[in-house]
Amino acid sequence: MAPCCSLALLLLCSQALAHSKGMLYPRESASRELKELNGIWSFRADFSQQRNEGFVQQWFRQPLRQNGPVIDMPVPASFNELTQDPALRNYVGWVWYEKEVLLPRSWLLNALRTRVVLRVGSAHYYSIVWVNGVNVTEHEGGHLPFEADISKIVQASSGALCRITIALNNTLTPHTLPPGSIQFMSDSSKYPKGYFVQKTKFDFFNYAGIHRPVVLYTTPTVYIDDINVTTTLKENVGVVRYQVSVVGDINYSLLLTLREKEGDVVTTGHGPSGELKVVKPKLWWPYLMHENPGYLYYLEVKLLAEVGGEPLEDVYTLPVGIRTVYVTSSQFLINGKPFYFHGVNKHEDADIRGKGLDWPLIVKDFNLLRWLGANSFRTSHYPYAEEIMDLCDAYGIVVIDECPAVGMKYEANFGNKSLAHHLVVMEELIRRDKNRPSVVMWSVANEPASELPPAAQYFKTVITHTKAIDPTRPVTFVSNANYAKDRGAPYVDVICVNSYFSWYHDQGHLEVIQLQLKTQFEKWYDHHKKPIIQSEYGADSIPGLHYDPPLMFSEEYHTAVLKEYHSILDKKRKEYVIGELIWNFADFMTDQATTRVLGNKKGIFTRQRQPKAAAFILRDRYWKLANESSCVHSTLKYNNF
Ligand SMILES: *[C@@H]1O[C@H](CO)[C@@H](O)[C@H](O)[C@H]1NC(C)=O
Ligand SMILES: *[C@@H]1O[C@H](CO)[C@@H](O)[C@H](O)[C@H]1NC(C)=O
Ligand SMILES: *[C@@H]1O[C@H](CO)[C@@H](O)[C@H](O)[C@H]1NC(C)=O
Ligand SMILES: *[C@@H]1O[C@H](CO)[C@@H](O)[C@H](O)[C@H]1NC(C)=O
Ligand SMILES: *[C@@H]1O[C@H](CO)[C@@H](O)[C@H](O)[C@H]1NC(C)=O
Ligand SMILES: *[C@@H]1O[C@H](CO)[C@@H](O)[C@H](O)[C@H]1NC(C)=O
């Protein structure tokens, strides 16, 4: 990137920057190859006082093992829980990852026609990447993908061995998302010299590491950089509007073929933008709303160009669901039918993996969701892996796609620096997820201090920006502020409210839940006249702990809280309440605190994915709700999982 930024090359420079607009999920095709770099990497945490020895000694210049000890570290995974060293579990600062990989000769020989890209699914929080000692990219943010074109470096090197070094910093500041701060403890009677801790205001452990797959993939040098698909429905006709951007040449042609799952051609098109019409389309329906939920068409985009007098072809196939989303003052409509969110909040969290992507866990979680009769979840409190989002598309699990703005509790979190980064995060999130039918709404934050004066301008800006990039989806943020004092609510399409009656206050007093919840809904609705989702509610329970009459932390209390909430939800869902998302799907790790027993225990499943009593209460409820709202209720029986 750097060398092109002289005045003479300004034009070239802006073209080169236009390069990295797209972030298509890497998929193999006739023209694209893919090599996963998952597995064991070399690893070292920089324990030097300033955490900067790696930069001073330039650890990226030669193999990491040559400038000090290394340990084995799996990718994807969090690094925190994998050794017996408490200092690594609580580590704050720079850690170094390295992988050496042999590239196929075919990737290296034809530089004129082959492009090699390194892509990281996500790495928490700040990353710098070198290939063969050359700095190729930096990225801020722990939950979204980034990539670098490394063709020049690997194709110029003498051998096929390629060394990838990633320095990763998990330090959070008042301007990161999520925000945090480093507290230096200067009282030498209590703390050793230079002692510091990382403070955060969000309730989950700040797991760090390379959390999602790292891959190398190829494209031709003239390639499909991005595809944008939006769908509408006019009577019996589905309209798929597309825009394709191509990088590398201006002389090319594009052919588009929309296919059924089994390959039959539905319709074709050509050119970089246009509309494909599907008569009597099979719509994308949410799980339990239709006997064939999550129906996907496949849009094959074929690019034909010429390089060095020889024809060149690039092919990319995108799953496409045809569906519409529309919000009224009291309803959420999918394909014109009222949709009620009966689902969960999740986390990407499990035992020693921390937040590392794990296929068995993903499949188990989707099986539990479907067993439960959940039709939706919110990606609390950060974007989830693309591999998870793919299954939401395929199974019809509806998603409220949330960005990592959680724990914004101080004025310092609402300044221009935070805002500028927040806008970039929304751009990156929409760039990644814009084509997903499962994503029906963006959430720009969770429980910010939205009553603070700067929150008004802040949320107005973030929400306006989000709507400008994606005019097709509603936008929300999740509030736990007072209905009258919340300064962001005027800008949202749907009100999302979290409350924990008889848990964080009125502790033990189940009898006040109904009154307080009824008041909550009525006040919010009277004030804003917008549909409302109960976006969090719940209670902690220690699995196997019983007490009756119910006391806090027993399974009985957990289920009693849920039932009190449900009785009011059942009244208000006939009016303007459009959903309920339990907090939480499963127990998860947090910072240590007197209220947290090895983490947050509000899961209806344990961290090992075994059901608590609350899971059975919700299962009965969700299937009943599905039965009421579904088009296929007569056939709806508990499926076998
Ligand atoms: C990496 O390259 C970028 C862009 O050229 C530059 O801004 C940055 O300072 C470099 N970082 C390091 C650590 O060398
Ligand atoms: C990385 O970590 C150091 C040491 O903990 C911190 O002082 C610094 O601000 C961080 N830098 C970035 C770019 O996040
Ligand atoms: C563009 O491509 C077409 C077909 O390959 C070719 O006939 C034409 O000469 C090319 N035009 C330019 C300006 O390169
Ligand atoms: C933030 O930016 C806006 C618009 O550029 C400006 O009016 C405002 O003074 C800035 N606020 C701060 C705290 O710098
Ligand atoms: C996708 O295309 C639609 C128009 O068809 C446009 O409104 C929207 O802004 C585009 N989205 C992105 C992320 O470019
Ligand atoms: C849904 O309703 C049908 C017909 O009323 C009934 O047979 C079926 O058992 C119900 N399913 C559930 C899960 O309640």
**445 and 386 co-located in one domain:** yes
CATH of the domain at 287: 2.60.40.10
* Residue 176 in domain: no
Which pLDDT band holds residue 628 (cuts at 50, 70, 90)? confident
Ligand 5 pocket: which of 21, 426, 470, 473 to mutate (most atoms within 8 A of CB): 470
CATH of the domain at 122: 2.60.120.260
Q: Whose CA is nearest to atom 5 of ligand 6?
A: 634
CATH of the domain at 586: 3.20.20.80
Token pair 């002692």: residue? 195
What pLDDT does 11 receive? 33
Mean pLDDT of 430-457: 98
* Residue 69 in domain: yes
Of 420, 366, 344, the closest CA to residue 175 belongs to: 420
- For residue 428, report the phi and psi dihedrals to the nearest 5 degrees: -65, -35
**283 and 372 co-located in one domain:** no
User: Which residues are part of the catalytic machinery?
Assistant: 447
What pLDDT does 6 receive? 34
What pLDDT does 8 receive? 32
* Residue 331 in domain: no
CA distance 202 to 405: 10
Q: Are strands 134-140 and 265-270 parallel, antiparallel or unpaired?
A: unpaired
Residue 422 above 70 pLDDT?
yes
Per the rule left: phi > 0, alpha: psi between -120 and 50, beta: everything else, 523 is alpha
CB-facing half-sphere around the CA of 395: CA atoms within 13 A: 23
Residue 509 above 60 pLDDT?
yes
**360 and 478 co-located in one domain:** yes
* Residue 134 in domain: yes
Is residue 242 within 8 A of residue 273, CB to CB? The reply is yes
CA distance 392 to 376: 9
**366 and 285 co-located in one domain:** no
Residue 638 above 80 pLDDT?
no
Residue 593 above 80 pLDDT?
yes
Q: 458 CB under 6 A from ligand 2?
A: no
The number of the ligand 2 atom at minimal distance from the alpha carbon of 92 is 5
CA distance 516 to 514: 6
CA distance 440 to 437: 7
What pLDDT does 17 receive? 35
Residue 51 above 70 pLDDT?
yes
**152 and 255 co-located in one domain:** no
What pLDDT does 633 receive? 56
Contacts of 269 (CB under 8 A, 6+ apart): 242, 255, 256, 258, 275, 276
What is the CB neighbour count within 10 angstroms for residue 74?
17
Per the rule left: phi > 0, alpha: psi between -120 and 50, beta: everything else, 253 is beta
Mean pLDDT of 11-29: 65
Q: 157 CB under 6 A from ligand 6?
A: no
Q: 415 CB under 6 A from ligand 4?
A: yes
**214 and 228 co-located in one domain:** no
Ligand 4 centre distance from Cα of residue 7 (Å): 30
Strand order in the sheet with 34-36: 34-36, 214-220, 114-120, 146-149
* Residue 12 in domain: no
Residue 466 above 50 pLDDT?
yes
What pLDDT does 4 receive? 30
What pLDDT does 159 receive? 78
Considering the chain, what percentage of its residues have pLDDT values greater than 90?
92
What pLDDT does 14 receive? 34
| pLDDT tens column, 82-114 | 999 999 999 999 999 999 999 999 999 999 999
Is residue 396 within 8 A of residue 343, CB to CB? The reply is no
Contacts of 277 (CB under 8 A, 6+ apart): 237, 238, 239, 240, 267
Residue 338 above 80 pLDDT?
yes
The number of the ligand 5 atom at minimal distance from the alpha carbon of 243 is 2
Which residues are 496's β-sheet partners? 478, 533
* Residue 181 in domain: no
Measured over the CA atoms of residue 305, residue 311, residue 317 and residue 321, the dihedral's sign is positive
Measured over the CA atoms of residue 60, residue 65, residue 66 and residue 69, the dihedral's sign is positive
What pLDDT does 278 receive? 98
Ligand number nearest to the C-alpha of 310: 3
The domain boundary residue, chosen from 157, 190, 219: 219
Amino acid at 335: N
Considering the chain, what percentage of its residues have pLDDT values greater than 70?
95
What pLDDT does 639 receive? 67
**285 and 163 co-located in one domain:** no
| CA 73 to each of CA 67, 143, 195: distance values in angstroms, whole numbers, following the listed order | 17, 19, 27
For residue 143, whether the previous peptide bond is cis, meaning omega lies within 30 degrees of 0, is: no
Ligand 5 centre distance from Cα of residue 33 (Å): 28
Per the structure, the count of domains in the chain is: 3
Mean pLDDT of 408-430: 97
* Residue 325 in domain: no
Ligand 1 centre distance from Cα of residue 76 (Å): 25
| pLDDT tens column, 187-219 | 999 999 989 999 999 999 999 999 999 999 999
Q: 623 CB under 6 A from ligand 6?
A: yes
Q: 135 CB under 6 A from ligand 1?
A: yes
**158 and 60 co-located in one domain:** yes
| pLDDT tens column, 384-407 | 999 999 999 999 999 999 999 999
565 vs 12, residue with greater confidence? 565
Of 485, 462, 486, 487, the closest CA to residue 475 belongs to: 462
**308 and 346 co-located in one domain:** no
| Containing structural domain, residue 404 | 341-640
| CA 289 to each of CA 283, 366, 390, 628: distance values in angstroms, whole numbers, following the listed order | 11, 17, 19, 10
Q: 91 CB under 6 A from ligand 2?
A: no
Question: How long a stretch of residues is the chain?
Answer: 641
**354 and 495 co-located in one domain:** yes
What string of DSSP letters covers 289-351?
SSSSTT--EEEEEEEEEEETTEEEEEEEEEEE----EEE-SS-EEETTEE--EEEEE--S-BG
Ligand number nearest to the C-alpha of 2: 1
For residue 611, whether the previous peptide bond is cis, meaning omega lies within 30 degrees of 0, is: no
The domain boundary residue, chosen from 259, 286, 320: 320
Q: 637 CB under 6 A from ligand 6?
A: yes
**102 and 134 co-located in one domain:** yes
Which residues are 319's β-sheet partners? 298
CA distance 435 to 430: 9
Residue 15 above 90 pLDDT?
no
Ligand number nearest to the C-alpha of 128: 1
* Residue 6 in domain: no
Mean pLDDT of 176-194: 96
Of 394, 378, 368, 364, the closest CA to residue 286 belongs to: 394
Residue 336 above 90 pLDDT?
yes
Mean pLDDT of the chain: 94
Task: Give SS3 for 247.
Answer: strand
**500 and 618 co-located in one domain:** yes
